[in-house]
Every structure is written in C-alpha cells, then in structure tokens.
Chain A
Amino acid sequence: DAKTTQPTSMDCAEGRAANLPCNHSTISGNEYVYWYRQIHSQGPQYIIHGLKNNETNEMASLIITEDRKSSTLILPHATLRDTAVYYCIPSGGTSYGKLTFGQGTILTVHP
C-alpha cells in the first residue's frame, strides 16, 4: 500500500475554502485516492475519490497532480460542521476495498 503524508492539523475560517493536502508519492498506477472524514466519536464518512482526473461532488473537490504523487481536497465553503479528522487513503489493486487509515489531518473550522 502507498504511504501518505498529511499535515497533523489545519485551521480554517468559516465560509472560507479549506484546502487539505496529501502526499502519496509511492502510489501505484491502479490505486485510487480516497478521502474520508471522521467527525468526533462517529464512524468515518466517505467524501470523494479519484484516479487521475479531478473530481467534484456535492461535498468537495479533489485535485490530483498529473504525476499522481499528491492530491488536495477542497471544501469550498467550510462550516463548523466540517470540523473533523480527514483521511487521505490510496486504495486499489489487490487491497480489495481494504482501507488503511493513517493519522489524518485534524481540520478545525473557526467562527
């Protein structure tokens, strides 16, 4: 499985965009990049995933660099409810849906 590096913590003002980076320089060609988040004491929640192209859904946007060695999750208008731990997880190939959670980034959204 690819190793990931994420900032330990980040802050964001409410209403502003939150940009969460992730380095996954050892990602293999058939691994997707998944983003999940975990709000305090709850089960993880799927946000978005992508392989090569940038992706957008109702929750967030995902920007993947051309060499696929890093990605950025963008929450366009952060709210207090977006305060959570965000996990960047490469997954695919033979891992058959198994998710390897690292330490993630603690995002705190301030009023």
Chain B
Amino acid sequence: NAGVTQTPKFQVLKTGQSMTLQCAQDMNHEYMSWYRQDPGMGLRLIHYSVGAGITDQGEVPNGYNVSRSTTEDFPLRLLSAAPSQTSVYFCASSRFGRVADTQYFGPGTRLTVL
C-alpha cells in the first residue's frame, strides 16, 4: 500500500490564482480530512469527509472547497489564493473516522502564495 499520497510536494502561487491540492489513499478508508499547519503551530482542520459524497467544514474552512466523488480521492481547491493561505497542507485518512480509528497522514504540500 502507498498509504496517503499528496501532490504536489511544493507549489508557489500568485495572489488570486487557483489550484487544487490532490490527496489519495489506497486503504479503502471512508474518512478523509485536510489540515493546514502554519509555522510553529499545530495542525488545524479545514474540511473533512465521512464518505463519498459527504463533506463538512472544520475549524478553518474559509477560502477552501472540497468534494468527494470517490472513496480514494479528496482534493482541496483554493479558488483565489491569498498570502494568508501560505502554509503546509496535510491530508489524512482513517477507516471510518470513529473515535478509536487511527489516522494516517500524507507527507504534506508546501504552498507559498506571493
């Protein structure tokens, strides 16, 4: 199993540009989520999904859109990038998202918005 994969690893955008961060998992996990981590800070939840076709907002959803058309993929879209979205983005997945389920994290995408 590849686990949780994220692309790209690095990205530089100009203010106002749009892009999609890709996340995929091959563990047949129902639950997937996106976090962002700013320098010196802990991770903060952006959006999450408990299964295909179902998404919900986390702690910091503004400026981001998600969709979940398949179990494997959970892309994160930035419609109009802002410098405040400069961060490291982590995708995670778990079997069902239940209390005792272990979450597996991807390697991260480092995004800089100029």
Q: Which residues of A contact B (CB under 8 A)?
A: 30-32, 41-46, 49, 87, 91-93, 95-104
Contact = CB atoms under 8 A, between A and B. Distances in A.
Question: SS class of chain A's interface: helix, strand, loop or mixed?
Answer: loop
Interface of B: 4, 31, 33, 35, 41-45, 48, 50, 58-59, 90, 92, 94, 96-108
A97 B108 contact: no
B31 A97 contact: yes
Given A30-B99, A43-B105, A44-B90, 17 more contacts: A32-B99, A32-B100, A41-B108, A42-B107, A44-B92, A49-B100, A49-B102, A96-B50, A96-B99, A97-B96, A97-B97, A97-B98, A98-B45, A99-B45, A101-B35, A101-B43, A103-B42
B105 A44 contact: yes
29 contacts: A32-B99, A32-B100, A43-B92, A43-B108, A44-B92, A44-B103, A44-B105, A45-B105, A46-B103, A49-B100, A49-B102, A87-B42, A91-B99, A92-B99, A93-B99, A96-B50, A97-B94, A97-B96, A97-B98, A97-B99, A97-B103, A98-B45, A98-B48, A99-B43, A100-B45, A100-B59, A101-B35, A101-B42, A101-B43
Nearest to B96: A97
In the A-B complex, the 5 residue pairs with the closest CB atoms: A101-B42, A43-B105, A97-B97, A92-B99, A101-B43
Nearest to B101: A97
